[in-house]
Amino acid sequence: MDYIEEVIQMAEENNPNQPEFLQTVREVLSSLRPIINANEAEYRRMAILERMIEPERQIIFRVPWTDDNNQPHINRGYRVQFNSAIGPYKGGLRFQKNVNLSIMKFLAFEQVFKNSLTGLPMGGGKGGSDFDPNGKSDSEIMRFCQSYMTELYRHIGPNIDVPAGDMGVSGREIGYMFGQYKRIKDSYDNGVLTGKGKSYGGSRIRPEATGFGATYFLLEVLKHEHESIEGKTFCLSGFGNVAWGAAKKIAELGGKVLTLSGPDGYIYDKDGVQGEKIDYMLEMRASGRNRVQDYADKFGCEFFPNQKPWGNVKADIYMPCAMQNEINIDDAKKMVEIGIKILNEVSNMPTTNEAIKYLQEHDVIVCPSKAVNAGGVAVSGLEMSQNSERLFWTQEKVDKELQKIMKNIYDQIVKVTKLYHLDYNLVAGANIVGFKKVADAMIAQGLV
Ligand code: GLU
């Protein structure tokens, strides 16, 4: 049997109730065919694919906490340490009601390839909890973070595993977790978490990095198409940290963001999300209400309840910034019908495998999230460098490094698509580049 098919089948047998994880395994492995075919004997000898799909360690733990009325609650905490071949595990923490092991493993698996693409020495991991931060008071959030860290601390460290934020975890939560870690360890291990506040070791540009990086990647794609960002229209989803950074950079470069979305629906702003409206996104997020309708109420634009913008709004470029599987095959068909040309994936795995295939077959350029959103973790890597050398870099320096990293990711991908005659398939190119570096390191380090 074909090596790739064999390992996909093995993944299916061993992880029957993990749809998100199996989705990314199928997507990644099936796109690796050219490089696997060229090195099959060696990869089989070293069980590269079998090891690539099995996390090195998975930690699941109880997180008890009390609410403001002294009522006890129990959540489940996770940390999946997927692959440390090229550096300490690195990846965010997600606090969201629907978090489960399948979602943790899909995110950790993608992180391995994403981190490899950045060119920085970071392995892949991910963690989080099924804790729902919406509507919680600040002291409830703090108690939860402290309890979560009281277990997690024994599994992490600047040279072991370096968590950061993801959905439901930003500067505030990182601060509470860092405080608790420092208290338990009695040691100022600055580099144990990234996304810290500027006063205690955080990097400039880290909050903006994912959205800025996604826009820098898009600039390279537009250049390839002999186009520029100026005057282009955009549909974004989400209104959190990632969408905020993207909206900011797009507006600065002369593009126009027409939509944002939340769990309640999407807003359509014909004048574009810009100026104070971008600042208002921060307020919406801080309110903990998790509603995008507030934007429409404040600025008097249209609101479409319980709908997504995909296929409903005509724009030059789509940038999903909310979560996994927000674009399915029906959306993809509508997108092709209304003539969308570029899908710049910002959230992790926003498009189903079926939808990616359909879009590519209909000449939509799909820019894969592993590359597009790598700017976030890349600046986390730069934060680790700054912590190690006990220095702070200027905003200009971090931004310049980020631009360099995003361009380098793009260039490497295009080089590989040429090498393997993959046309302009950026999805396959990104997977191959990310995979190769990790596979080389795993071979060099033996069967561990
Ligand atoms: N959660 C982000 C991601 O999906 C950032 C991870 C990090 O900075 O470590 O890449």
Q: What is the rounded distance in angstroms from the CA atom of residue 416 to the CA atom of residue 435?
A: 12
Closest to 277 (Cα-Cα) out of 309, 254, 308, 243: 243
Distances (CA, A) of 145 to 73, 95, 140, 159, 344: 13, 10, 9, 22, 33
The pair of structure tokens assigned to 283 is: 């307020």
Let me know: does 22 contact 12? Beta carbons within 8 Å. Answer: yes
Instruction: Tell me the pLDDT band of 427, cut-offs 50, 70 and 90.
Output: very high
Instruction: Provide the CA 261 distance to its chain's centre, in angstroms.
Output: 18
Q: Is pLDDT at 141 greater than 90 in this prediction? A: yes
Read off the pTM.
0.97
Question: Cα angle at 438 between 323 and 404, to 5 degrees?
Answer: 65
Q: Is pLDDT at 29 greater than 90 in this prediction? A: yes
Q: Buried b / exposed e across 239-277, counting CB within 10 Å, b at 16+?
A: bbbbbbbbbbbbbeeebbbbbbbbebbbbbbeebbbeeb
Q: Is pLDDT at 1 greater than 90 in this prediction? A: no
Q: Is pLDDT at 111 greater than 90 in this prediction? A: yes
Mean pLDDT rounded to a whole number for the chain: 98
* Percentage above 90 pLDDT, the chain: 99
Distance between Cα 397 and ligand 1 center (Å)? 20
Per residue in 245-286, pLDDT (tens digit) is 999 999 999 999 999 999 999 999 999 999 999 999 999 998
Q: What is the rounded distance in angstroms from the CA atom of residue 24 to the CA atom of residue 39?
A: 22
**Pocket, ligand 1, Cβ cutoff 6 A:** 90-92, 164, 166, 194, 348, 373, 376-377, 380
Let me know: does 59 contact 155? Beta carbons within 8 Å. Answer: yes
Mean pLDDT in residue range 117-132: 98
Instruction: Tell me the pLDDT band of 207, cut-offs 50, 70 and 90.
Output: very high
CA dihedral 32, 33, 38, 44 (to 10 degrees): 80
Let me know: does 68 contact 425? Beta carbons within 8 Å. Answer: no
Site to substitute for ligand 1 among 79, 105, 106, 111, most atoms within 8 A of C-beta:
111
Distance between Cα 126 and ligand 1 center (Å)? 8
Instruction: Tell me the pLDDT band of 431, cut-offs 50, 70 and 90.
Output: very high
Residue nearest to atom 8 of ligand 1 (CA): 377
Per residue in 338-349, pLDDT (tens digit) is 999 999 999 999
Q: Is pLDDT at 410 greater than 90 in this prediction? A: yes
Q: What is the rounded distance in angstroms from the CA atom of residue 110 to the CA atom of residue 57?
A: 16
Let me know: does 375 contact 344? Beta carbons within 8 Å. Answer: no
Residue nearest to atom 9 of ligand 1 (CA): 91
Atom of ligand 1 nearest to the CA of 165: 1
Q: What is the rounded distance in angstroms from the CA atom of residue 271 to the CA atom of residue 251?
A: 11
207 in helix, strand or coil?
Answer: helix
Q: What is the rounded distance in angstroms from the CA atom of residue 351 to the CA atom of residue 272?
A: 25
Per residue in 147-201, pLDDT (tens digit) is 999 999 999 999 999 999 999 999 999 999 999 999 999 999 999 999 999 999 9
Q: Is pLDDT at 63 greater than 90 in this prediction? A: yes
Type of residue numbered 288: G
Q: Is pLDDT at 240 greater than 90 in this prediction? A: yes
Catalytic residue chosen out of the listed positions 105, 114, 126, 308: 126
The per-residue pLDDT for 288 is 87
H-helix or E-strand spanning residue 30: helix 19-31
Atom of ligand 1 nearest to the CA of 107: 4
Task: Classify strands 57-66 and 124-129 as parallel, antiparallel or unpaired.
Answer: unpaired
Atom of ligand 1 nearest to the CA of 162: 9
Mean pLDDT in residue range 436-446: 98
Distance between Cα 123 and ligand 1 center (Å)? 12
129 in helix, strand or coil?
Answer: strand
Q: What is the rounded distance in angstroms from the CA atom of residue 268 to the CA atom of residue 93?
A: 31
Distance between Cα 82 and ligand 1 center (Å)? 14
Distance between Cα 381 and ligand 1 center (Å)? 10
The per-residue pLDDT for 67 is 98
Question: Cα angle at 412 between 232 and 443, to 5 degrees?
Answer: 145
Site to substitute for ligand 1 among 116, 242, 377, 398, most atoms within 8 A of C-beta:
377
Asked if 114 is an active-site residue, the reply is no
- Residue 126, C-beta contacts closer than 8 angstroms, at least 6 positions apart: 79, 80, 82, 91, 92, 93, 94, 104, 105, 107, 108, 111, 166
